[in-house]
């Protein structure tokens, strides 16, 4: 099987450097027309310039592809709507959205200011929401869309000094879960990429000897797959150094207590069983948890439910 994206239009945010750049190049190589978005600021979000986006557009065009540059701030809805309109005016549709734009303001929680926390949330989580909101109606109307959020192991598992970044990166997983359900009947598939790559965002995190091993280009084939007609939905694809894995959220079977048994001490006594991974499941919607609890309670109390 060869994945081709001929005739499809992709928007890649934060595509002037690092992962966004290699994502844009990889999509263009497969035939997609790419709107290359980048504010062109520093990694903390300050400053702006269209130079990096324009350079990536030139790269794509030099290889025979179609692309245009855009300098929208993903945290500004008016600019985001204008960005999407630019793609629609240029090519008539948007098939793929890669929410990649991001900034870092790392500090320990003790030193984290509300501004540092809020600004990172605005770019990563609100920016992903605004860009997705701007393409959602047209994707529904055309009965097709592929959306990828960018998560991180910092959100999935935690990373010291990144409470703002980790919160934002776990937030997009919740957004993905809901939009997967809402987009299913419109053939809109929604996934997340959790990348590990050597970029300016991670240059002081990765040891020097590993930096080259984690080349951004080793992650971008995952973006091509998640952008394709063959893409799954509601998956968290972790990627780095040429390795790919799926991260999943499981819930244990747990323990039910009758009203007469229910105390904090009972929970403490049963903790090993509550925490037992045997029989744990990957739930597909929030209502499944409620139904599981309802059946457990009804069974314990002799109540018949359908």
CA distance 239 to 237: 6
Q: What is the pLDDT of residue 299?
A: 86
- Sign of the Cα torsion 210, 39, 148, 250 reads positive
pLDDT of residue 32: 99
- Position 201 scores a pLDDT of 59
pLDDT confidence of residue 46: 61
Average pLDDT over residues 48-70: 96
pTM of the model: 0.93
pLDDT of 207 over the 90 cut: no
Across the beta sheet with 145-150, the strand order is 67-70, 33-37, 9-12, 96-99, 145-150, 188-196, 236-240, 243-247
State the average pLDDT for the chain: 94
Tell me which residue of 132, 115, 216, 146 sits closest to 174, measured CA to CA.
Answer: 132
Lowest-confidence range among 141-145, 206-210, 296-300?
206-210
Higher model confidence: residue 134 or residue 201? 134
| DSSP 8-state code for residue 155 | H
- Distance of alpha carbon 133 from alpha carbon 119, whole angstroms: 19
Q: What is the pLDDT of residue 40?
A: 86
As to burial, measured by CB atoms within 10 angstroms (0-12 exposed, 13-18 middle, 19+ buried), residue 277 is exposed
Give the containing element (helix H, strand E) for 173: helix 163-183
The confidence score (pLDDT) of residue 211 equals 67
pLDDT band at 118 (very low <50, low <70, confident <90, very high): very high
- Of all residues in the chain, the percent with pLDDT exceeding 70 is 93
CA distance 154 to 162: 7
Contacts of 162 by beta carbon, 8 Å cutoff, 6+ apart: 104, 106, 154
pLDDT value of position 295: 87
Please say if the pLDDT value at position 202 is more than 60: no
- Domain ranges in the chain are 9-247, 250-306
| Maximum average pLDDT range among 181-185, 207-211, 283-287 | 181-185
pLDDT at 131 over 80: yes
Collapse the DSSP code of 286 into the 3-class scheme (helix H, G, I; strand E, B; otherwise coil) and give the result. helix
Question: Which band of pLDDT confidence, cut at 50, 70 and 90, is reported for residue 170?
Answer: very high
Options 77, 157, 165, 186, the catalytic residue:
165
* Per-residue confidence band for 303, with pLDDT thresholds at 50, 70 and 90: confident
Asked if 186 is an active-site residue, the reply is no
Give yes or no for a contact between 61 and 67, defined as CB atoms under 8 angstroms apart.
yes
Residue holding tokens 């978005």? 37
What helix, strand, coil percent values describe the chain, rounded to 5? 45, 15, 40
The average pLDDT across 217-221 equals 96
Express each pLDDT in 230-268 by its tens digit.
999 999 999 999 999 999 999 999 999 999 999 999 999
Mean local confidence (pLDDT), 115-120: 98
Beta strands of the chain (E only): which ranges? 9-12, 33-37, 67-70, 96-99, 145-150, 188-196, 236-240, 243-247
More confident residue, 166 or 40: 166
Report the CATH fold assignment for 9-247: Rossmann fold (3.40.50)
């Amino acid at each position: 099987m060869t994945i081709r994206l001929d005739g499809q239009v992709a928007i890649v945010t934060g595509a002037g450097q690092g992962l966004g750049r290699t994502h844009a190049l990889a999509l263009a190589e497969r035939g997609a027309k790419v709107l290359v978005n980048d504010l062109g600021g520093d990694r903390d979000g300050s400053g702006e310039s269209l130079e990096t986006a324009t350079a990536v557009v030139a790269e794509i065009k030099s290889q025979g592809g179609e692309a245009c540059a855009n300098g929208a701030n993903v945290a500004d809805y008016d600019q985001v709507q204008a960005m999407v309109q630019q793609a629609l005016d240029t090519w008539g549709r948007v098939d793929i959205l890669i929410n990649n734009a991001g900034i870092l303001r790392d500090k320990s929680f003790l030193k984290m200011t509300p501004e540092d926390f809020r600004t990172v949330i605005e770019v990563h989580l609100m920016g992903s929401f605004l860009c997705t909101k701007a393409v959602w109606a047209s994707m529904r109307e055309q009965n097709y869309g592929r959306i990828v959020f960018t998560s991180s192991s910092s959100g999935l598992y935690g990373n010291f000094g990144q409470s703002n970044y980790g919160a934002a990166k776990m937030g997009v997983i919740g957004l993905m879960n809901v939009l997967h359900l809402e987009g299913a009947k419109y053939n809109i598939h929604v996934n997340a990429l959790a990348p590990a790559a050597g970029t300016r965002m991670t240059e002081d995190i990765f040891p020097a000897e590993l930096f080259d091993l984690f080349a951004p280009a080793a992650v971008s084939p995952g973006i091509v797959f998640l952008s394709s007609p063959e893409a799954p939905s509601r998956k968290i694809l972790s990627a780095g150094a040429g390795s790919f894995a799926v991260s999943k959220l499981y819930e244990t079977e747990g323990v039910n207590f009758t009203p007469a048994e229910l105390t904090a001490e009972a929970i403490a006594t049963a903790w090993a069983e509550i925490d037992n991974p045997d029989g744990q499941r990957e739930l597909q919607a929030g209502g499944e948890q409620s139904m599981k609890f309802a059946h457990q309670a009804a069974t314990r109390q002799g109540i018949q439910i359908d």
